[in-house]
Homo-oligomer: A and B are copies of this chain.
């Protein structure tokens, strides 16, 4: 069996955006830090599932003994970018008991009656959990900016509120990973066509998708503004080229693995005498 092709540069370095980052400079077809092909990527993904599951179990185990660390993965993207597949894959490697998944849809009337972070706060991960947000509070500075549902002043207020909110999460033990999956307009077109060509995928299509697609460039500007305003050391943004789905998957897996590794997790030490308990169980 051939050796698994590893990343040459870790995505937490190559994909983390820095000062002066410009989205337009990123090639959505590229595979930064990785020279392998699709088959290599799949093999790498499968190869690391065990490691991911083990680290997540350690995180959960620590919290049972007072640990307060936790992860929050925030995924933002244009429609068809592949959030769903990534969520399915990354989560399937982990124990459902230790994962808090939330897909944020258009807000309900009740949710709209509160500040935009109200519904988000309720879903932040508990100690020991890996939280996964499929869309998030960033919708309130993306779609709201694109359609001018918020004034520039209100948007500015929200960026500030988001930074305060995220730094509060960080201070209470949350490692935040913010990800934008970056697909090109052409790639989105071909994926929408593929949906229309498969009757089993028609339920995922609505004409509204096409309406939003007309604002593709405006969305890119809104993402750029969000990066400019909310990228921080504590809660950095990562832009993942996502025209190649297999690359986006291994990149997200690497980011989560990297975050878990950085937490320096340890199996809790037994608070009982192992030999004594062993003897008691054996006699039971």
Contact = CB atoms under 8 A, between A and B. Distances in A.
Contacts of A165: none
Contacts of A54: 200
Nearest to A58: B200
A114 interface: no
Nearest to A209: B281
A284 B202 contact: no
Contacts of A134: 97
Q: Taking chain A's interface residues, is the majority helix, strand, or loop, or is none over half, making it mixed? A: helix
A95 interface: yes
A213 B277 CA distance: 13
Contact of A189 (B92, B205, B282): B282
Contact of A203 (B197, B267, B277): B267
Given A189-B281, A193-B282, A284-B214, A202 B274 contact: yes
B284 A203 contact: no
A203 B61 contact: yes
A192 B284 CA distance: 11
Interface string A66-101: 000000000000000000100110011101110101
A267 B281 CA distance: 52
B87 A97 contact: yes
A210 B283 CA distance: 11
Given A268-B202, A281-B189, A284-B214, A274 B196 contact: yes
A234 to B, nearest CB: 26
A196 B281 CA distance: 9
Interface in A235-284: 267-270, 272, 274, 277-278, 280-282, 284
A132, A197, A206 — most chain B CB neighbours (10 Å): A206
A281 B65 contact: no
Contact of A88 (B65, B96, B210): B96
Contact of A277 (B65, B92, B96, B207): B207
A267 B267 CA distance: 45
Nearest to A99: B96
A12 to B, nearest CB: 24
A103 B134 CA distance: 22
A1 to B, nearest CB: 17
Interface string A129-170: 000101000000000000000000000000000000000000
Contact of A97 (B65, B103, B268, B284): B103
Nearest to A91: B96
A255 to B, nearest CB: 18
A199 interface: yes
Contact of A207 (B92, B192, B272): B272
